[in-house]
Amino acid sequence: MKTGIYVPIPHVTAHSPRLAAATAAAQRPLAPLEVDPAFTLARDSVLEAERLGFDLALFAERHLGPDLEAWVLGAAVASHTSRIQIMPASNPDFWHPNMLAKMAATLDRIAPGRSAINFVTGWSRDEQSYFSSVRHDSDEARYSRAEAFIDTMRATWSADRDTPVEVVEGAEFYPAALPLATAGEFPPIYAVSRSERGLDMVAKSADHWFVDWGSGFDRTFDEVLESARVSIDQMRERAAHYGREVGLCVSAFVLPAATEEEGWQRVDELQARTRSTTPHLVGPQLGAMGARLVGPPSLIRDRIDRFRELGVEFLLCKYVPDVDALDELADIVSPIAVVS
């Protein structure tokens, strides 16, 4: 099983002193020669993750708040790396597919053959209002556009300067003759969706899917696992309908503690702190706790292994970015990676 991390940024990461300092610094100009603390935190975290053997770093796309722009940050950090895969997120409603194809090809040459795209169709109405002119009147419209977006992006990667460009009257997208090749194979596309139409888009167009294991903190792990099993069976059927297979991933918050009870006490503390400061971020920051990878390392490893037995190939970890947190996380998930 491969492993990755969410790169710590304010809108997706639970509180830590260093993250709080970076967030505060974002709201003031930088002093002469000062490097932005959020960039330093991201760079240091990814380099440490690379040293510890993690396979991928996800840069979430959050346009509201003090988060640095995902593609710019990902490219800047990528230039310091040598092995780890770099995956910025992208909502297709904020970009044109040919622009994103060029950005991804550029990143793939900065981190040779190590780029990926986290393809998300959006959840924030405010972001959609402020940063996109695209409006959808139905799920069908949203996901049909997303499928056309991915098809166009891949066609642009396939094109070269001698490829004739067919401009189709009335079409929103058509491929460009992009004289910039990706470093290797086309960047893989990781996607997440829970709606029926969104799941169909994943089955048709994505390379990897973040498994729907349900939601809420009040379920047992067996209930979480059963939700994941049902979701996986259904996705396999959907993908087979289109003659495809989709890789299976799990996104989860990993919170080690001496006991499971102690771990959930810490979850309560993190929830209370987030509700008192940024209540709108409780879900984005802490919702992945619902996967119940909380407690002693041996318990967490056992639960990760049970996901692996369902066919999950990749674990993307959220964590509290305290000092030594990545070392502790690596101690937990590295045995899983070695076994598989």
What is d(CA 66, CA 281) in angstroms, rounded to the nearest whole number?
Answer: 13
**pLDDT, position 15:** 76
Look at residue 328 and give its three-state secondary structure.
helix
Instruction: Evaluate whether 50 touches 84 at the Cβ level (below 8 Å).
Output: yes
Q: What is the arithmetic mean of pLDDT over 115-120?
A: 96
CATH code of residue 108: 3.20.20.30
Q: What letter would DSSP give residue 33?
A: T
What the block records as the tokens of 101 is: 């194809």
Q: What's the predicted TM-score (pTM) here?
A: 0.92
Q: Which pairs count as long-range contacts for 273-278, CB under 8 Å and 24+ apart, including other chains?
A: 273/15, 274/14, 274/15, 277/15
Across 190-202, average pLDDT: 94
- Across 7-70, the runs of DSSP E, i.e. the strands, are 56-59
Q: For position 48, what pLDDT does the model report?
A: 97
* Lowest-confidence region among 151-155, 231-235, 335-339: 335-339
> Alpha-carbon distance 97 to 159, whole Å?
13
Percent of the chain with pLDDT strictly greater than 90: 67
Tens digit of pLDDT for each residue in 8-29? 988 788 778 888 888 889 889 9
**CA–CA dist 49, 31 (Å, integer):** 29
CB atoms within 10 A of CB 147: 16
Closest CA to 145 of 173, 164, 123, 125: 173
Domain coverage including residue 90 = 2-339
| pLDDT the model gives residue 139 | 82
- Overall domain count for the chain: 1
Share of the chain above pLDDT 70, in %: 94
Question: Quick one: which of 33, 12, 71 has its CA closest to 281?
Answer: 12
User: Is 146 exposed, middle or buried, given 0-12, 13-18 or 19+ CB atoms closer than 10 A?
Assistant: buried
The pLDDT of residue 159 is 78
Kindly report, residue by residue over 272-327, the tens digit of the pLDDT: 888 888 887 788 788 899 999 999 999 999 999 999 999 999 999 999 998 899 99
